[in-house]
Amino acid sequence: MSGSESGDVNKTVVEELEKGQAVVQVSEEDLKMTRKVLWKLDTRILPVLAVMFLCSFQDRTNVGNARLYNLEEDIAITDHQYDAGLAIFYATYILSEIPSNLILKKVTPGVWLPCLTFLWGVSAMSIGFVKNFSAFVGVRALLGFMEGGLLPGIVLYLSTIYTRGELGFRIGIFYTAASLAGAFGGLLARGISEIGKRGGLNQWSWIFTLEGLFTACVGICAYFLLPNGAGSAKFLTPEERSFATNRLQRAAGNGNREKEMAEKFSWGEVRRGVFSLQTWFTALAYFGILSGLYSFGLFLPTIITGLGYTANEAQLWSVIPYATASVVTVCTAYASDRFRVRGPIMLCTLPLAIIGYAVIGNTSNNNVKYGMTFLMATGLYSSVPPVLGWLSNNSAGHYKRATTSGLQLAIANCGGFVAVFIYPQSQGPSYHQGHSIILGLLCAGWVLILCNVLFCAKINRDKAAGKWDKYRGYGDDRDPTFKLVL
């Protein structure tokens, strides 16, 4: 087969993949090169992003571990002031997400993402030295502002490196770091607590200081490891870089990739992202998921302590649900890419969390409560990669995708406000009210996901019927050749 014929075959295959159609023929040479390039991208980029996101999730939730070692008593804050310190983090976190994504292209991912990691690492480390409520709130606010741009930036970054059909699994791989952060966070906090009060610092101080220092070091290393894109990756040969770039261009079709690369900032694209129904369907559903996920991460140690375990035992027992969730999350993300669907996957995973919250809030059996944490963690974590990949898949045009990714996460992260106020210690150990609120949000989320599936299916039918032909040649998600992922 000639090079031209090989290219034609590969173009057809990629376009068919993007349209969700069956593939019957492919060049063996291109298959080998694709596997080789993807292997290098996966093994050089995803581990770095996974560690960065692990640090992100750990540094926002380790306050729950630190709380078990007398954080509130040592800096003389009340239960309500502790909640306020958690809430201010989400306020600044949310405010920074969209602006961060809009400047990502200008500053470049290889510089911006590592810089954010370093700066929030320093901020996290500083929490270990706070002495009062004002300092606690101030540093938590700074931490949120620095950390907010990471996740939307990573999703946007990956969407420029992988095709639409490859994105879900990759998001699942790095997002698994979040559940691993929960697993290792308990173990790490347990180990760090053994340092005691050496060096004039309390046990909780050492948790913040050492974990923040590690994050700052990760940021420095990431600066030297992350490329700005497949076309500039030094670990690829010139031939592989050319193939990776051409592969993405063919996948986009009709020169759409070149249009995105040359795209200038436009408020019109920002408005398209803000007023997209898909953005609001997925963002509000994700809001319910993150309300549960953040409350789960912040208060699981406290919940387990309420079941009769000591602080040290709670750290260890909190590991197992997270570890289980990490395995299921990867499997779910793989299935999402394999079958090229997002919404239907979530319609199957969310009921796991719904059952978990429905049972745990209405039983007094400690063994049953702990068992339900497995369903809660599995259902919540495994639902995140599909919802993140879904909106990115269906948003074309760099600045629209930057807006939708940032806005989706900004809305969803408002769940942090819910999380910090619905599990006061006075409700323990049953936390019936808190669990009931999360249960209602997850049920609403399930309905919203179903609405988005039906909405995307309708748009695809309308495009097939010629109702979107006026957008032909636009090179974005309005183009009738652009089929939405369900």
- Identify the residue with better confidence: 13 or 81: 81
Q: Residue 484: count other Cβ atoms within 10 Å of its Cβ.
A: 19
Nearest alpha carbon to residue 160 among 254, 234, 272, 260: 260
Question: What is the number of residues in the chain?
Answer: 486
Cα–Cα distance, 114 to 119 (Å, whole number): 9
Could you read off the pLDDT of 331-352 as tens digits, one per residue?
998 899 888 899 999 999 999 9
pLDDT band for position 371 (cuts 50, 70, 90): confident
Cα–Cα distance, 152 to 389 (Å, whole number): 11
Position 200 scores a pLDDT of: 72
Q: Encoding tokens for residue 115? A: 């810089």
Amino acid at 327: V
Q: Where are the alpha helices (DSSP H) in 148-276?
A: 150-159, 164-193, 203-225, 238-252, 256-262, 267-274
pLDDT, the chain, mean:
83
Could you read off the pLDDT of 136-191 as tens digits, one per residue?
999 999 999 999 899 889 988 998 898 888 888 888 887 776 667 666 666 676 67
The answer to whether the CB of 485 falls within 8 A of the CB of 340 is yes
Position 295 scores a pLDDT of: 81
Could you read off the pLDDT of 230-273 as tens digits, one per residue?
888 899 999 989 888 888 877 765 555 556 566 677 788 889 88
Position 308 scores a pLDDT of: 73
* pTM of the predicted protein model: 0.79
Across 69-83, 166-180, 218-232, 416-430, least confident range: 416-430
Could you read off the pLDDT of 8-63 as tens digits, one per residue?
334 434 443 444 443 434 578 888 898 899 999 999 999 999 889 888 888 877 88
Cα–Cα distance, 379 to 356 (Å, whole number): 9
State yes or no: pLDDT of 219 exceeds 50. Answer: yes
State yes or no: pLDDT of 214 exceeds 80. Answer: yes
Position 261 scores a pLDDT of: 62
Nearest alpha carbon to residue 153 among 49, 284, 257, 271: 49
Q: Which positions ≥6 away from 321 have C-beta within 8 Å? A: 182, 300, 373, 374, 376, 377, 378
The answer to whether the CB of 375 falls within 8 A of the CB of 295 is no
Position 24 scores a pLDDT of: 37
